[in-house]
Amino acid sequence: MTDAISINQSLVTRARAAAGEIADDIQQHIDAHTTDSTERATLRLLGITGVNEIEVPLVNVVVEHARALLPGGIMRPFVDLMMQSGKSAQEAAEGVARGELELAAVPAERRPAVEARAAELAAEGVARIDAVRRRRNELVAEIGEPLRPYVYVIVATGNIHEDAVQAVAAARAGADVIAVIRTTAQSLLDYVPYGETSEGFGGTYATQENFRLMRTALDEVGAELGRYVRLCNYASGLCMPEIAYMGSIERLDMMLNDSLYGIIFRNINMQRTFVDQYLARLLNARAGIIINTGEDNYLTTADAFEKGYTVIASDFINESFAERANLERWQMGLGHAFEINPALPDQVVYQIADAQLVRQLFPEASPKYMPPTKYMPGDVFQGHIIDAMFNFTGIFTGQDIMLLGMLTEALHTPLLQDRYLSIKNAKYIFEGCRHLRDEIQFRPGGVVERRADELLAKAVEQLEHVRETGLFAALEKGEFADVERDPEGGRGAEGVIKRAPDYCNPFFAALRDGRMSGPPTGPAPGERAASKEGRPS
């Protein structure tokens, strides 16, 4: 049912052309700026970790010490310091934190040698990411790969050790992807906490040690179950590229990494967000991580039936940004959601139309379909039925990643038994309807096709309007999610830095060049076996 509904291909061409021009315009801003978090991520790529005596991450300390040098990038002065002192990156950072070493501008006569050494260190840092990606490929081939759609569930206790217990239980119940929800407001912290954590509100801190602990737990249960269990977290907020690096080195498989979400829903400065998402996505691309975009959230603040076209428009924009950051199409987990009011007659018919349109517009991507939340009732029985219709729509329209709804969504953080019931619901529907889409044809000119036509036409109209006004202006006017944002305002604006003409950061070239291609390959039992390129068919 790949071409199940007729789509006006000239509109698709116009949509991609407009989205490409929108992304190109923003790329000019990206190429002219750096940020505090981009420079801190650069230091992490050199292998720097840990905190000082008052628990401030060393990368934050070094960047603050080098504030006046940041327009030219942290890499050149820091590598010069390493070479002049004879110290490793970690030792040099610790020396700066203790006040024993000082970062300074690099004299012209030392620059060629420093830049050559910086390029070598960048290649070594990227090689470490490549090694982690190869290890994932080996494990998927060795352990096995589940059928799609991936059953994706969340854990959110605040305690990483309890999260691991719940994640293992969910995997045993049938989950394929475990997402650790990040603690409330971590996206607004301008540093990454260090070490394992046992306290968090509404979720668990995203730290490198917490990533490592959860990865270990999922590897163990995956070996027991005979299928690779994927791990997801958040590369978003004020530390977006830093967390992307942590995910790449600790073998996360998916990361929420949207180019617009932090601007719209966390009021993070848009100029900073666009710069940060570029390095974050280069890292995710190199690491073989699937990014998840956040278009589903638009439908929690705007009406899903009336404003569904904004999801399509944003998917095209996110696709264009992803392409410019080297992400392959299978790594694009473009977002959409089952959020139309259940009281609307033919609600499920319209949901099918929306979901089928996304699937056909982005056939090589890995769409992530989000469950109902806005209209979930306190009645757990009714909620469970609504979730079942979401599961049906997902398998019927061929979605790749299904974040399961919970019958207690509107009441409390799901308990183990709630998650078990949701997985059981999804597994029954996915297996019971696995080939239904191959047996059904949509009526030409029917409700589904007319709805899809309307969404696409309105999305193109919006994209062409945004191309004329610019994305900054569109966000300022609230054209996505009905939320208005100030281009000069929001959190983190002070961390945006105009690049000097001699800006130096060889990690950008190293991440873009010579990368391996294709998703991890494995036995992938069943009809959705791997193609020649390794992409599940």
Check if the beta carbon of residue 496 is closer than 8 Å to that of residue 284: no
Residue in 36, 253, 276, 296 annotated catalytic: 296
- 154 forms beta bridges with 179
Residue 152 main-chain phi, psi, to 5 deg: -115, 125
* Residue count of the chain: 537
Encoding tokens for residue 452? Answer: 């899809």
- Would you state the structure tokens that stand for residue 395, as one six-digit string? 């398998």
Question: For residue 100, how many other CB atoms are within 10 A of its CB?
Answer: 10
CA distance 166 to 416: 7
Active-site annotation holds for 194: no
Amino acid at site 183: T
Q: Pick the catalytic residue: 368, 387, 418, 420?
A: 368
What are the φ and ψ backbone dihedral angles of 315, each rounded to 5 degrees? -60, -45
Q: Which residues contact 513 (CB under 8 A, 6 or more apart)?
A: none
- The span from the CA of 89 to the CA of 95, in Å, is 10
Question: One-letter amino acid identity for 373?
Answer: T
Paired tokens of 129: 């990411």
Q: What are phi and psi of 231, to 5 degrees?
A: -120, 135
| Amino acid letter, residue 319 | E
**Contact between 97 and 61 (Cβ < 8 Å):** yes
The verdict on whether 374 is a catalytic residue reads no
Q: Which of 150, 191, 245, 261 is catalytic?
A: 261
Tracing tokens 């610019």 back to the chain, one arrives at 470
Q: How far apart are the first and last CA of the chain?
A: 13
| H helices present in 87-207, as ranges | 89-98, 111-143, 160-173
| Distance, CA of 107 to CA of 130 (rounded, Å) | 34
Residue 103 amino acid letter: L
Tell me the two tokens of residue 121.
């260190």
d(CA 34, CA 24): 17
Does the active-site annotation cover 261? yes
- CA separation for the pair 369, 54 (Å, rounded): 42
Residue with tokens 């959190």: 491
For the annotated catalytic residues, the residue numbers are 261, 296, 368
